[in-house]
A and B are shown apart, each in its own frame.
Chain A
Amino acid sequence: MKISFYLNGKDTCVDVPADRKLVSVLREDLELTGTKEGCGAGECGACTILVDGHVRLSCLMTAAQAQGRRITTIEGLAENGKVHPVQEAFIENGAVQCGFCTPGMVLAAVDLLDRNPDPTREQIREGLSGNLCRCSGYVKIVDAVEAAAGKIGRGKSR
């Protein structure tokens, strides 16, 4: 089945089985391996992508469901060679250890800050509650999201 969607700012068309897991389309057919597949059951958040700006799990979507949607993966966040403020804050705060949860974690944070530009730490924890990290204990991740909120806020007031 031919499926067209807007992926990371570009019109994209793939010819894949309609019931193929969207995460496999992204990773294997389009070679965008930033998106990870962890549990395959909606319980870890590693496969998080943005669909029309909101977090969704690409392991629980059929390829057909991507038709006509605007999809953002971790590869699509940087603009003009410059990483997104959330990515920058993750680097600066040492919020990455093994890195497997990071793409999903970053996208969940981008969606959260879009809806709530100045979240409390509790709201950050809630916003990222669908993304499991087995290394970090989450403290530096929450620090990074707090720092990113500051960066984005300062960017806007400039």
Chain B
Amino acid sequence: MREVILPGSIEELWRCLDDKPQASVYAGGTDLLVKMYNGLFDPEALICLDRIEELKEVGEQGGSIRIGACATHSGLLEDPLVRKRLPALWKAIGGIGSPPVRNMGTIGGNICTASPAGDTLPPLYAMKAEVELLSREGSRRVPIPEFITGPGATCLKRAEILSAVWVKKPEGYNLHHFEKVGLRSALACSVVSMAALLRLRPEGIVEKAALAWGSVAPTVFRCPEAEEALAGKPLCAESLSKAAELVRDGVSPISDLRADADYRRAVAGNLLLRLVDIADEGKGR
């Protein structure tokens, strides 16, 4: 029989990890338990972080918001700090899985799963989030693009957990957008997703853009060329079309059962074109 341990505090967690150094650590289980129960993964023991309240806290510290790794997606959707200050992340979380999946799954789990299609990842990359990694020896902070080293791979060490994600409040941006294209609107893995933060002058000139795509490369795709191409230009079909070409040139999507690479490449650019309408509607502000 495989043991399942539910530590109630971080102190207790370290003791569990001393006892069972080979144990797999999980929070919501919406990814790891699917693999385990379908025979794709056979951990020696399981440690569930579900009962560690101190890992679920969300708070403001200086100019940043610290989100505890075990905060569930549902919890974050109801959190006024996330809704008001991190609207692109909030929108992304609202489209994850389904209500029961959002009640179980956590932001830390979404990051550690490191799926190319992980929906919290594009907004976190666009906002230059950092993850806080905790071990008995202490904590370290790592920018999220360094933490995720490939599809399903991170630099998390043994006996270390992801304890929180730190996001600087994106000051000055007045358009916060996330859009996901899936095969249906609920319970859908992203075929292509995009997070976009724009600082727009009143006359419609883009002052600054932060853009990130999911599901079009082994990890989240950033496109500094497209961001530079947009800076100083009016937000219009012409400028966005030029930037979209740079995006389509830069992505490296795969073909799988959900979509082929050419479709993903086309849609990655097309999602950018939509920003004119988003700005017009005043949505996402």
A55 close to B99 (CB less than 8 A): yes
B34 to A129, Cβ gap below 8 A? no
Question: Is A120 interfacial (CB 8 A cutoff)?
Answer: no
B residues near A132, Cβ cutoff 8 Å: 187
Which of B2-10, B150-158, B225-233 is the contact stretch?
B2-10
Assuming the contacts A42-B34, A64-B48, asked whether A108 and B100 have C-beta atoms less than 8 A apart, the reply is yes
Segment 44-87 of A: residues with Cβ below 8 Å from B? 45, 48, 54-57, 59-65, 67
Residues of B near A42 (CB, < 8 A) are 30, 34, 97, 100-101
Residues of chain A within 8 A of B101, CB atoms compared: 42, 57, 130
Q: Are B4 and A41 in contact (CB under 8 A)?
A: no
Q: B46 near A130 (CB under 8 angstroms)?
A: no
Interface check B130, CB cutoff 8 A = no
Asked if residues A57 and B6 are in contact (CB atoms below 8 Å), the reply is no
Cα A62 to Cα B49 with chains together (Å)? 13
A123 to chain B, nearest CB (A): 11
CB distance from B32 to the nearest CB of A (A): 9
Closest chain A residue, CB of each to CB of B43: A19
Q: Does A21 make an interface contact (CB < 8 A)? A: yes
Cα A123 to Cα B46 in complex, Å, equals: 36
A–B complex contacts, Cβ < 8 Å, 28 sampled? A1-B4, A17-B1, A19-B1, A19-B36, A21-B37, A40-B34, A40-B37, A42-B30, A42-B100, A55-B99, A57-B30, A57-B100, A57-B101, A57-B104, A61-B29, A61-B33, A62-B46, A64-B5, A64-B48, A65-B4, A65-B48, A108-B100, A126-B99, A126-B186, A129-B99, A129-B185, A129-B186, A130-B99
Q: Interface residues, chain B, CB within 8 Å of chain A?
A: 1-6, 28-30, 33-34, 36-38, 46, 48, 50, 74, 97-101, 103-104, 185-187
> Measuring CB to CB, which residues of chain A are less than 8 angstroms from any residue of chain B?
1, 17-19, 21, 40-43, 45, 48, 54-57, 59-65, 67, 108, 111-112, 126-127, 129-132
